[in-house]
Structure 1
Amino acid sequence: MNTKPKRTDNQASTPHMAEIVERNIQALLDREQEEEKSKPLETRIADTVTRFTGSMAFVYIHLVMFGAWIIINLGWVGIKPFDPSFVVLAMFASVEAIFLSTFVLISQNRMAAQADKRANLDLQVSLLSEHEITRLITLVRAIAKKMDIEESDNPEIDELAQDVRPEKVLDTMEKREQKTKKN
């Protein structure tokens, strides 16, 4: 008896993913939308400014504005120059650079915080997976023993059957990093 649900034409045309994968994708997308909606106004403004200043439209606008400023102040179009030494242009460019770099830093700080949260999530999932795999190894070994199946002589199996202590891994990494820096 076939217990699989029938697939609709829509489902048949797209590759099928496990339900848990689809649920996880949707949960992550929902979370991102939720976080986007809950961002403070200042953060949304900084992100919008950063997004625009990282676009070619921003470059084209500046090419036209600075180009017109320079052409006018060189006296090439018959208009009296208003900034012949380009001091005002330099001041505007400097002030703009200060504000733009601040907006970029605000956005980068927020993105770094997001990256830290994702890295922490990855670590937690990896630790959980490692714990589950360790338990599976223990279970398979017990099943093999009960069925009188001889285990191959592999010293790594004993090691893999033990839980990993993340603090010990971090300590070892730090020691090796310090040792590398000294050499």
Structure 2
Amino acid sequence: MSDPTEKPLQKSPPKTVEEITAKNVRSIVELEQASQRATWGDRLAVRINDACGSMTFLWANALGFAVWMTLNTIILPQPWDPFPFNFLTLVVSLEAIFLSIFLLIAANRQAEVAERRNQLDLQINLLAEQEDTKGLHLLHLIARKVGVEEEGDPDIAVLEQATDPETLVDQIGKIEEEVENSRSTP
């Protein structure tokens, strides 16, 4: 058994640009691998969607319909599906239903992957914002220490404040509401 007071082993922080880049690439690869971990149904839907979203599938369908209609109108003396091709209509309708279901499954899977990437982007952007705010604050302190005069720029004090994501969400909501209200008001 391990000692509960023992600290877990921590990886040493990256020391070179190559180590930082390798860490970032590893994170992206892990994200991609996580997006590949799908159920067999999801993988099947993506494969079917890829195959059916091709020009080959389009031409195969066009050729199949042309052969079907030609056989049932010109060639066969006793057609199995005479004009107006009720059985062909059934087959095409079923094909459309299943293809649209596969398309929706694949689209949902892609939306999940996109959401994961958006969350990663958001976290990186928030971290970058925090780093920028801290860097601006430190730069301001250094400038003051070496005697660089400030020219009374009011933006500096505002930009040194940390960005609060909840406040931004509230502001976006209020502005969207104002814009929507201004559009509906003549």
> Structure 2 length as normaliser, TM-score?
0.82
Question: What's the counterpart of residue 83 of structure 1?
Answer: 81
Q: Could you give the per-residue CA deviations for residues 57-103 of structure 1, whole angstroms, max 9, x where no partner exists?
A: 1111111111100111112x355321112000000000111111000
Question: What's the counterpart of residue 53 of structure 2?
Answer: 54
Question: What's the counterpart of residue 133 of structure 1?
Answer: 132
CA distance in 1, matches of 2:111, 2:77: 48
Report 1:98-137 matches (<5 A).
98-137=97-136
Structure 1 residue runs of 5 or longer lacking an equivalent are 1-17
Question: What's the counterpart of residue 167 of structure 2?
Answer: 168
Give SS of 1:74's match. helix
| 2:32 pairs with 1:32 | yes
Question: What's the counterpart of residue 177 of structure 2?
Answer: 178
Residue identity (%): 35
CA distance in 1, matches of 2:117, 2:31: 12
Residue pair 1:72, 1:80 contacting (<8 A) in 2 also = no
Q: Could you give the per-residue CA deviations for residues 86-123 of structure 1, whole angstroms, max 9, x where no partner exists?
A: 00000000011111100000111111111111111111
Q: What is the aligned residue count?
A: 164
Residue pair 2:35, 2:113 contacting (<8 A) in 1 also = no
Residue pair 2:42, 2:106 contacting (<8 A) in 1 also = yes
Greater relative contact order: 1 or 2 (C-alpha under 8 angstroms, separation 6 or more)? 2
CA distance in 2, matches of 1:25, 1:56: 35
Structure 2 residue runs of 5 or longer lacking an equivalent are 1-16
CA distance in 2, matches of 1:181, 1:117: 29
CA distance in 2, matches of 1:123, 1:130: 10
Residue pair 2:130, 2:162 contacting (<8 A) in 1 also = yes
Question: What's the counterpart of residue 9 of structure 1?
Answer: none
Q: CA deviation at 1:30?
A: 4.4
Residue pair 2:133, 2:161 contacting (<8 A) in 1 also = yes
CA distance in 1, matches of 2:167, 2:35: 34
CA distance in 1, matches of 2:85, 2:134: 72
CA distance in 1, matches of 2:38, 2:27: 18
